[in-house]
């Protein structure tokens, strides 16, 4: 099945111009209306302001789409949880039944790779959930990172997860985790989780070169760029951790599980922090979009390609 490209995205890809994929779950399930729509449109403008074309990805009427109109984004924002949250497992269901679906990190990665979009900027990625030793709750994002050739720009893994086990799983799966101008693994709201990243890059050009080298070596899968939240918007781990723990306990009391956990926790944390966590979320998504655009520009200009290969492109 082909991915339906918006005219703007189609022209950009045909011309070899930089494109950045964006997810739609953050619109339908990550924030309430109208902040979700305002944020989605603002993030697209950040991508454009830094030289790339935004391609928000979703399923509409059973069709895989890369590049949504403002009206389509508004529809996802207003409909919210009524729209199915779609991971890779769910794609056959929504496509086969002609439904709409808001794509998670995993599904967005898959569709971006199918469309030939090598860079994807999101908020926070999924990982190993706390208590996974009993529940076996591990995000499909991690599996997809071994399959789709995409640079994933993220503010680390969501702070609600088991971050040491998430990094351990990524190491086992051979997925590079690169700290962007940092040696610490960020934890979504916080610039540091107290864990170290195995690799570090200081520029978009370095990241583009690493990604190109990985795929030219025949090593499939993602390159994770762990980009910390801007310092001014950070909520230190010591402040946010008790809030997360209380939200997790409340989810347990209510019997909330599976893919319903993350939306519940994000909403609960927003309430308990009086909106501070929402402001942090918006800031980190915009920051990731900026870095993603810079990486997309570097990749499109051939950074990391050998001189011989570049000569063949001129």
pLDDT of residue 301: 94
199 occurs within a structural domain: yes
312 pLDDT band, cuts 50/70/90, is very low
314, pLDDT greater than 70? no
314 occurs within a structural domain: no
CATH number at residue 123: 3.40.1790.10
Which residues in the chain belong to E strands, given as ranges? 4-5, 19-22, 53-60, 63-66, 84-86, 101-103, 119-121, 151-154, 177-180, 199-201, 223-226
Output the CA torsion sign for 233, 238, 239, 242. positive
309 occurs within a structural domain: no
150 occurs within a structural domain: yes
pLDDT of residue 313: 37
Calculate mean pLDDT across residues 17-40: 95
Query: What residues make up the domain containing 242?
Result: 4-301
165 occurs within a structural domain: yes
pLDDT of residue 133: 76
Q: What are the pLDDT digits (tens) for 44-101?
A: 999 999 999 999 999 999 999 999 999 999 999 999 989 999 999 999 999 999 999 9
Total domain count for the chain? Answer: 1
Calculate mean pLDDT across residues 34-47: 97
Hey, which residues are catalytic here? Answer: 23, 158
Burial class for 279, CB neighbours closer than 10 Å (0-12, 13-18, 19+): middle
313 occurs within a structural domain: no
293 occurs within a structural domain: yes
310 occurs within a structural domain: no
262 pLDDT band, cuts 50/70/90, is confident
């Amino acid at each position: 099945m082909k991915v339906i490209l918006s005219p703007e995205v189609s022209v950009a890809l045909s011309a070899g111009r930089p494109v950045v994929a964006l997810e739609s779950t953050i619109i339908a399930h990550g924030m309430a209306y109208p902040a979700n729509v305002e944020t989605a449109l603002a993030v697209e403008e950040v991508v454009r302001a830094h030289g790339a074309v935004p391609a928000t990805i979703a399923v509409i009427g059973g069709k895989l789409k890369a590049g949504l109109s403002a009206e389509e984004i508004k529809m996802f924002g207003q409909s919210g949880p009524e729209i199915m949250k779609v991971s890779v497992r769910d794609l056959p269901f929504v496509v086969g039944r002609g439904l709409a679906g808001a794509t998670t990190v995993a599904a967005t990665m898959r569709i971006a790779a199918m469309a030939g979009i090598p860079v994807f900027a999101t908020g926070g990625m999924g990982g190993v959930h706390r208590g996974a030793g009993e529940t076996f709750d591990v995000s499909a994002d991690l599996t997809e990172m071994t399959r789709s050739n995409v640079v994933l720009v993220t503010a680390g893994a969501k702070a609600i997860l088991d971050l040491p086990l998430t990094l351990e799983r990524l190491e086992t799966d051979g997925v590079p985790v690169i700290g962007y101008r940092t040696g610490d693994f960020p934890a979504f709201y916080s610039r540091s989780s107290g864990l170290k990243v195995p690799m570090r890059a200081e520029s978009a050009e370095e990241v583009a070169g690493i990604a190109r080298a990985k795929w030219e070596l025949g090593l499939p899968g993602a390159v994770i760029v762990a980009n910390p939240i801007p310092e001014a918007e950070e909520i230190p781990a010591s402040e946010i951790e008790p809030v997360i723990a209380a939200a997790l306990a409340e989810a347990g009391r209510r019997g909330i599980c599976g893919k319903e956990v993350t939306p519940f926790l994000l909403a609960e944390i927003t309430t308990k922090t009086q909106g501070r966590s929402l402001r942090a979320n918006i800031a980190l998504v915009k920051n990731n979009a900026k870095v993603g655009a810079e990486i997309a520009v570097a990749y499109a200009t051939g950074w990391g390609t050998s001189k011989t290969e570049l000569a063949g492109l001129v």
